[in-house]
Amino acid sequence: MTVFHTLFRIAAVAAAVSWIIIPTDGSASIRSAAAAPFPASTERDKPLVTFSLLSDIHVQENDEMSQQLFVKALKDHYSIKSDNHMLLINGDLTNGAGEDFDMLRQLLNSTPHAPVHATMGNHEYYGMWRHGSHYNYAKLSKQWSSVKATAQFMDFFGYSKAYHETTLQGVPFLFMSGEAYRDVDASFAEDAYLSEEQLVWLDTRLAEHQARRNAKPGGGTAARGTDLPALVFLHQPLPGTLDGSSLERGVVQHERLRAILEKYPFVVLFSGHTHWDWETTNQLWRGPFVAVGSASVRIVYGPDNKPLHPAKSESLFVEVYDGRIVVRAIDHEDGRWIGDPAVIHWGGGGAGSRMPSQ
């Protein structure tokens, strides 16, 4: 089959950064997948929560392949569990244009799926590279801004801030987003800028969950409370965790964010951004907290940081239990699970170590 023929790396403004330019010429196709359904989970007990995790869908109004791949992913997840608790899109939903968000809404409205939550990725700010009907990645447009980009995202989902939260069955879901782009400070590059307010909010919510974990129903402190994780979602990964995470700074305040997360060993941090393949790179990391990468729906990279040939499309299906989570990666091109489920326990692991992805 014909696959993506090119991916450009271009110089960033004031800093050298890798960019993802998605070709929109239809130069890829979805392989015919086997009709067999995804095998059911082999876990003996019933999960408290299940959710679908997609990242880097890159839906664009003029990119039919992005639309087809997103719809295919939605259909796969619906076939796995039609009563799933949540569909989570962890950044790079669009290329920042209003028309892209219109197309995203159209696709969501026309395809069955679980309730949606989302975070902002760096591409949600790419309206700043748009000049009329075309993109020029060498010059920021004066017609767009970080304020307008975050407002567009919040209006689309009905959020009051770029970050938000929900709780399911006692499990906190904390959705973080970068809040500013290069128009505010060119040094931010493609990294997530996290305000002090957002960081304090995160620390506070994690401390509250820690207190709930340690509390006995009758008061006092339990020797061992209900062992529920706190799930944190941010488009960009922390450097030095997952394979591919050290190619960029990732998060402007990465040292501060890491210091917060390291206080809470029950945290699982999910990220996207790198597009690195679940099957051939390590997208599970255990340190004082756990980090999980979710590859990409639109285009997947190999360990050489280049698009895979033939092309792949990947996402995660996650089951949350008391004391563990089970992560399964999906290859949407071939309609199959990737390897065996990854069973993740928390509790801290020193300076950090790779975990087998299968």
Q: What is the pLDDT of residue 222?
A: 43
CATH architecture of 49-354: 4-Layer Sandwich (3.60)
The count of other CB atoms within 10 Å of the CB of residue 252 is 20
Give the pair of three-digit tokens for residue 136: 């020029």
Among 23, 19, 32, 15, residue whose Cα is nearest residue 64: 23
Q: What is the pLDDT of residue 115?
A: 97
Phi-psi region of 2 (alpha: psi -120 to 50; beta: other; left: phi over 0): beta
For the chain, give every domain's residue range: 49-354
Q: What is the pLDDT of residue 15?
A: 32
Based on DSSP, count helices (H) and strands (E) in the chain, helices before strands.
5, 15
Measured between its terminal Cα atoms, the distance across the chain in Å is: 28
| Residuewise pLDDT in 10s, the chain (358 residues) | 322 233 323 333 333 334 454 544 443 444 544 434 566 666 678 999 999 999 999 999 999 999 999 999 999 999 999 999 999 999 999 999 999 999 999 999 999 999 999 999 999 999 999 999 899 999 999 999 999 999 999 999 999 999 999 999 999 999 999 999 999 999 999 999 999 999 999 999 999 999 999 886 655 544 344 899 999 999 999 999 999 999 999 999 999 999 999 999 999 999 999 999 999 999 999 999 999 999 999 999 999 999 999 999 999 999 999 999 999 999 999 999 999 999 999 875 544 444 544 3
Q: How many residues does the chain have?
A: 358
Q: What is the pLDDT of residue 7?
A: 31
Q: Cis check for the bond before 310: say yes or no (omega within 30 of 0).
A: yes
Distance CA 254, CA 329 (A): 27
Q: What is the pLDDT of residue 45?
A: 84
Distance CA 338, CA 111 (A): 24
CA distance readout (Å), 169 to 48, 84, 144, 215, 318: 6, 13, 40, 16, 15
Ordered strands of the 353-354 beta sheet: 164-168, 171-175, 230-233, 267-271, 290-293, 284-286, 353-354
